[in-house]
């Protein structure tokens, strides 16, 4: 994937405790890891934003080993379930978690991470171009993974390098988990130009994050809509951050007022604010709004990235050629991923999409060809940047609380749970918070007499809109 030897002694990663690793060391240490893994196989990687975590990841990609990127905070039971479905040969885990895997044998250790050989693996055949797998739904532990190819990862990263004009002077700071496609794309693209990544698990709300940011002169960061709401509340523009050049935004649509506010502040401060659009199914990125258009085209997610193409199709599958007509957004490009995997047998599957992705997002374009997302075809919300499937929530709640009827709906970052028994309101909320691992502030329970349905028993979600619109 990457030719680290080109960048020699340049620092590749540095963390908030002062530990650093050069590109040369990244290559050498990566060789050691791959040497103890005898052949191409599946590795479950429990990720955090740390040097060890990224070291393992880059070694796997450079040596034809296929990692499945999961959060190191994933609940034990969910992880065990995933392991029983995919039977990985190895685990790449933080040292602190080694003891949780009793039957496994440690065969490498370095930079706070350990490689464990599992005792119950099965060598499912792996499709030759399969590079890595990511989850679509964050923390619910669904075994549905997105299959990304070597070409997907490489082409998307190079396109990002091109439109963000990245070079080796960049010093991005981590703000998103690396097992989240947007966070991962920042690592992937910056490794191609020999930049220095500032790695931390600390967040925007912590003093340590900002000290690290300032001491190490971070030049860019990425954020989901909620990140920008937090920065706004932090009165971000009063902070002195001379090293900062670029802020990117993806993971859902930012409300236009905030888009405008950040675009204007960025212009005043001589920085770039870049709204982008993407999905895990397209590796990471599909569209971006060039920073010089950030104010003029406020509310737009921009144009297709270099090498990609957008189209809108109407309900009959015909291309829309008129501006301001809503249709489903379709993307074409070499970063459209292979497809999904739901079990070990699926790992042998080849490309099922042939470079075309129906995004499920409804959009319009203006007379200059800039795209605006106006809605969604499927029932899901983005909560703090995480995709949450509403039908899945309904199923989970009904499965757990058999005596009630329920329906979930809402807008991004605010889910409404409609239940038919007020006495169970707190229990339902607690259950959904537990299942999604998202902050309770995102959920509101509303007790109703009955869930509105049509004659054939289908829930009329439209009728619930009056409670939150």
* Positions that interact with other proteins (CB under 8 A): 203-207, 209-210, 226, 229-230, 233-236, 238-239, 384, 433, 437-442
Residue 163, both tokens: 């439109």
Beta carbon nearer to other proteins, 108 or 209: 209
Nearer to other proteins, 411 or 441 (CB): 441
DSSP state of 456: T
Q: 139 vs 246, which CB is nearer to other proteins?
A: 139
Q: Measured in whole angstroms, how far is the alpha carbon of residue 132 from the centre of its chain?
A: 14
CB of 376 to other proteins, least distance (A): 22
Q: Which residue, chain included where needed, has tokens 């999961």?
A: 70
> What's the rounded Cα separation, in Å, for the pair 437 and 73?
10
CA-to-CA distance for 92 and 67, rounded, in angstroms? 9
The least distance separating other proteins from the CB of residue 210, rounded to whole angstroms, comes to 6
One-character DSSP codes across 155-197: HHHHHHHHHTT--TT--BB--S-TTSHHHHHHHHHHHHHT--E
Q: How far is the CB of 441 from other proteins (least distance, A)?
A: 5
Report, in Å, the least distance between residue 466 CB and other proteins.
Answer: 26
Q: Which is nearer to other proteins, 239 or 356 (CB)?
A: 239
Query: Which residue number, 205 or 269, has a Cβ lying nearer to other proteins?
Result: 205
- Give me the residues paired with residue 149 across strands: 130
d(CA 397, CA 335): 36
Residue among 342, 386, 387, 384 nearest 360 (CA): 387
Q: Which is nearer to other proteins, 126 or 230 (CB)?
A: 230
CB of 235 to other proteins, least distance (A): 5
Provide the minimum distance between the beta carbon of 207 and other proteins in the complex, in angstroms, as a whole number: 5
Contacts of residue 123, Cβ cutoff 8 Å, sequence gap at least 6: 41, 89
Residue showing tokens 């994933």: 74
Exposed/middle/buried for residue 27 (C-beta within 10 Å: 0-12, 13-18, 19+): buried
We find the least distance from the C-beta atom of residue 204 to other proteins, in angstroms, to be 6
Nearer to other proteins, 28 or 439 (CB): 439
């Amino acid at each position: 994937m990457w030719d680290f030897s080109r960048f020699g002694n340049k620092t590749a990663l540095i963390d908030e405790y002062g530990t650093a690793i050069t590109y040369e060391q990244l290559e050498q240490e990566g060789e050691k890891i791959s040497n103890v893994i005898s052949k191409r196989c599946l590795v479950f990687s429990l990720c955090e934003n740390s040097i060890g975590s990224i070291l393992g990841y880059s070694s796997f990609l450079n040596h034809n080993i296929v990692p499945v990127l999961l959060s190191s905070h994933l609940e034990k039971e969910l992880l065990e379930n995933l392991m029983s479905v995919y039977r990985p040969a190895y685990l790449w885990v933080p040292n602190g978690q080694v003891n949780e895997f009793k039957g496994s044998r440690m065969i490498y250790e370095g930079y706070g991470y350990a490689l464990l050989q599992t005792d119950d693996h099965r060598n499912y055949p792996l499709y030759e171009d399969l590079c890595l797998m990511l989850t679509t739904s964050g923390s619910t532990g669904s075994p549905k993974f997105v299959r990304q190819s070597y070409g997907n990862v490489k082409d998307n990263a190079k396109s990002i390098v091109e439109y963000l004009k990245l070079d080796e002077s960049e010093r991005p700071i981590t703000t998103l988990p690396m097992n989240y496609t947007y966070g991962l794309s920042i690592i992937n693209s910056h490794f191609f130009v020999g930049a220095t990544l500032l790695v931390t698990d600390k967040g925007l709300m912590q003093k340590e994050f900002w000290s690290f940011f300032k001491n190490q002169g971070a030049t860019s960061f990425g954020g989901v809509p909620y990140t920008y709401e937090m920065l706004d509340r932090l009165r971000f523009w009063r902070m002195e951050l001379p090293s900062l050049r670029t802020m990117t935004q993806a993971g859902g649509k930012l409300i236009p007022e905030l888009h405008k506010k950040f675009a204007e502040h960025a212009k005043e401060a001589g920085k770039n604010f870049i709204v982008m659009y993407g999905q895990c199914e397209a590796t990471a990125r599909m569209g971006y709004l060039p920073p010089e258009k950030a104010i003029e085209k406020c509310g737009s997610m921009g144009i297709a990235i270099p090498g990609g193409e957008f189209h809108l199709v109407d309900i009959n599958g015909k291309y829309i050629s008129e501006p301001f007509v809503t249709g489903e957004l379709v993307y074409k490009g070499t970063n459209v991923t292979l497809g999904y995997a739901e079990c070990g047998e699926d790992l042998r599957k080849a490309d099922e999409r042939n470079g075309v992705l129906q995004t499920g997002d409804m959009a319009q374009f203006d007379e200059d060809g800039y795209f605006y997302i106006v809605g969604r075809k499927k029932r899901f919300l983005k909560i703090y940047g995480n995709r949450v499937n509403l039908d899945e929530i309904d199923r989970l709640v009904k499965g757990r609380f058999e005596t009630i009827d329920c329906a979930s709906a809402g807008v991004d970052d605010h889910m409404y749970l409609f239940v038919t028994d007020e006495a169970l309101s707190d229990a339902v909320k607690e259950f959904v918070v537990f299942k999604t691992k998202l902050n309770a502030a995102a959920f509101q329970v509303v007790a109703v007499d009955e869930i509105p349905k049509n004659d054939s028993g289908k829930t009329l979600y439209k009728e619930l809109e009056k409670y939150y619109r």
